[in-house]
Structures are given as C-alpha cells and as structure tokens.
Amino acid sequence: MPTTPRTLLGVLDEVIRRKHYSPRTGEAYRYWTRRYVRFHGGRHPREMDVKEVEAFVSHLASAHKVSASTQNQALASLLFLYREVLDLPLAMGGHHLQAKRPTRRPTVLSAEEVSRVLLAMRGTARLMAALLYGSGLRLRECCELRVKDVDFHRGELMVRAGKGKKDRVTMLPAFLADPLRRQLAEVRNQHDADVKAGAGYVELPEALERKLGARTAQLLAWQWVFPATRQYVARATGERRRHHLHETVLQREVSVATQVSGIAKRVSCHTFRHSFATHLLEAGYDIRTVQELMGHREVSTTMIYTHVLNKGGLGVRSPLDLGDTRVGRAQHREPRSNPPSDEPPAAPGVGHVSELRKVWLAEEPD
C-alpha cells in the first residue's frame, strides 16, 4: 500500500497533484502555507481558524505592504489548505478577506518603440521577443514551444497547456518564418550531437513517457524550440536532458534592451503581448478574433485594449486643440475626423518593421 504522507506539505502536494494544478500554483501554495505556519510560531493550521488567517493577511498588507494581487494569492492558498487539505472550511468562507484589486491599464508600446527594443537585442533573445509581439505569446508559452508546435505550412503556432491548461492556435508571422527555420536547424544539429553522446532527452508532459515509451523523449519533435545551453541529469531516470531556456534570460535581455533604446516606460516581456492586441485592434481587426488569439476566456478581458482607440481622454479633444479663438490663437478649426476612404486600414508601424527587416537580414550568416 502507498505510504500516507505524514507532513502537512506532503498532504498538500498530493492534493495539488490529484487536482492537476500547475507546478507554479503548487509552488505558491506551499510557500504561503510555510509562511502562515511560521508567522503563528509553528502552530498547526488545525489549531487555528479564520481569526489567525485574518491576522496573517492583515500583517502582509500593513507590515509588508504587499499588493492586492499578492494578498489575494496568499488568501487563496490558505483557503485551499483549509478546504481541500484539512477539510475544515473557514467560517464565512474567508472570502470577506479578499483585497480589492485596483483597475490599471496595461503599458503599450508603439510600433516604433517595439522596433527600437528589438533592434537593441540580438540572437535568440530577439527572436523570442519578436514572437511575443508577433504572435501574442505569454513568456512561459514562448519558452515552452516544442518543435512539433510550429507549422510553417499553415503559418501557425500551437500553444499547449497555456493559462488555465487551455490549448490554442495563434499566428506565425511570415516575417519570422526564416529566422525560426534557422533556429530549428540549430536545434536539430545540437540534438543530433546530444543523441550521439548518449543524451538528447527532454521532459514529457504528464504520463506521455509511459504511454509512448521512453524513446519518445529523444525524438526531435518533442525538443524545445529554445533549449537551454546546459544539460541536467534527471534524478528519477538518470537521463541527460535539456530544459527550455529559463524565463529570466529573456526578462533580463528585454530590460537591458529597453534601457539601451532609451524608452522611458516600464517594459516587461508581457508588454509585447499587450502591444500585440492593441495594434491588431488599431488595424481594424474584430475584437472576437483578438480574443481567440490571446486565449482570453471572456471578451471583457480583451476589452481593456480598446482604450487605445479612444486617443486620449475618451476620444474628447482638448479645447487647446480645437483652434477656438476663445482658447487658442488659431483662427481655424481642424477637421474632427479624416475624410472617408475605401482604403483598408494600414498596419501600424509598417516603416519601422521594414527597418527591422533590413537590420535582421544584414545580420544573417552567409
């Protein structure tokens, strides 16, 4: 018979695995459970109730000044602990302790600013950042792309087990087809060398290794598009594997490139995804289409990007821009809108994309 976990964290891990929660969620739940127990001097959670939970959450907000999202994550971890692990639901459900999250608009780069950041980057980091912007990928989705998920014929990328464990299909920019082919050629050469050296394995999702056989982990189709530079040895099997490139590598490169390009905005990897959605809406694409490409469950989530269509204060022009003699010295009124045209909307930043293409092609190996 299987040994029953004797520790609180052991039971927590078992429940998390049974519910198929993501590794990051499990890591966060374990972290907050440990902090909760330490805050109360090592007392077991069974001996405590909603008062102790409220004291811990209040301490986070007042003493550590954590954000509302961090406070809610800690509360969600403890609610899960009491409800699912200890089978002791808190009085009133504990939901009254949730913090109100402020409504913030995402940082969005212009097409010219996107080009400046990408031009300040090199190699694999530039290709990854370009995919974040050109395909609307999340950072982890980009890092976890596998060779089999790239479809050049259909111009598509298959995102596997994205946020919420959902698969989706997004576009593969034609602009990035050749750089991505070169990247996959390098992956193939590196993988062939690894296999000859008795390595070349990769971690497979869930139970696929048992279903498809251990050799499947050595197939090229399952290799990462952006593999790590170093190998590691799996403890359970002794296989020499490669993980995908760590997220912090690209985060660091984006931060440096933003400083080099002189952009005075707080730019992260996720900013490229925000810019992807915004620029598609600016170009006239339907919001439902953008919703599917982004993988949003509700269209209300995608609606946040429509703020860029308002052009300032909800589409209202300042009196200083109206040309009114009562406000400014201009003696004429500018037209409120462009004359109607049958031409389709132009994609934003076409000229900057052309400049980026020239630089990229100039750096290609002979």
Quick check: 125 pLDDT over 80? yes
Catalytic: 296? yes
Average of per-residue pLDDT across 245-268: 95
pLDDT at 330: 43
Q: 157 and 217: one domain?
A: yes
Quick check: 89 pLDDT over 90? no
Catalytic: 326? no
Within-domain flag for 102: no
Amino acid at 58: S
Q: 124 and 260: one domain?
A: yes
Catalytic: 305? yes
Q: Domains in the chain: how many in total?
A: 2
The sign of the CA dihedral 207, 8, 23, 203 is negative
Domain boundary among 54, 70, 97: 97
Active-site residue identified among 191, 242, 244, 273: 273
Within-domain flag for 342: no
Quick check: 74 pLDDT over 90? yes
Average of per-residue pLDDT across 299-317: 70
Amino acid at 265: K
What's the CATH number where 39 sits?
Answer: 1.10.150.130
- Confidence band of 78 (pLDDT split at 50, 70, 90): very high
pLDDT at 235: 85
pLDDT at 310: 58
The sign of the CA dihedral 239, 244, 246, 249 is positive
What's the CATH number where 200 sits?
Answer: 1.10.443.10
Q: 116 and 93: one domain?
A: no
Amino acid at 294: M
Active-site residue identified among 126, 241, 242, 296: 296
Q: 234 and 118: one domain?
A: yes
Q: 48 and 166: one domain?
A: no
- Confidence band of 327 (pLDDT split at 50, 70, 90): very low
pLDDT at 81: 94
- Confidence band of 344 (pLDDT split at 50, 70, 90): very low
Other residues' Cβ atoms within 10 Å of the Cβ of residue 315:
8
pLDDT at 337: 47
Within-domain flag for 103: no
pLDDT at 331: 42
Q: In what order do the strands lie in the sheet with 168-171?
A: 150-151, 156-159, 168-171
Active-site residue identified among 36, 82, 116, 138: 138
pLDDT at 3: 57
Active-site residue identified among 30, 160, 163, 168: 163
Q: 81 and 121: one domain?
A: no
Within-domain flag for 2: no
pLDDT at 94: 74
pLDDT in tens, 200-212: 999 988 777 778 8
Quick check: 351 pLDDT over 60? no
Q: 81 and 117: one domain?
A: no
**Which domain, by its residues, includes 55?**
8-97
| Lowest pLDDT segment from 10-19, 170-179, 278-287, 320-329 | 320-329
Catalytic: 273? yes
Q: 27 and 67: one domain?
A: yes
Catalytic: 270? yes
Quick check: 318 pLDDT over 90? no
Catalytic: 332? no
Q: 121 and 53: one domain?
A: no
Average of per-residue pLDDT across 331-336: 44
**Average pLDDT value over all residues in the chain:** 85
Quick check: 183 pLDDT over 80? yes
Q: 88 and 176: one domain?
A: no
Q: Which residues contact 291 (CB under 8 A, 6 or more apart)?
A: 299, 301, 302
CB 322 within 8 A of CB 82: no
Within-domain flag for 106: no
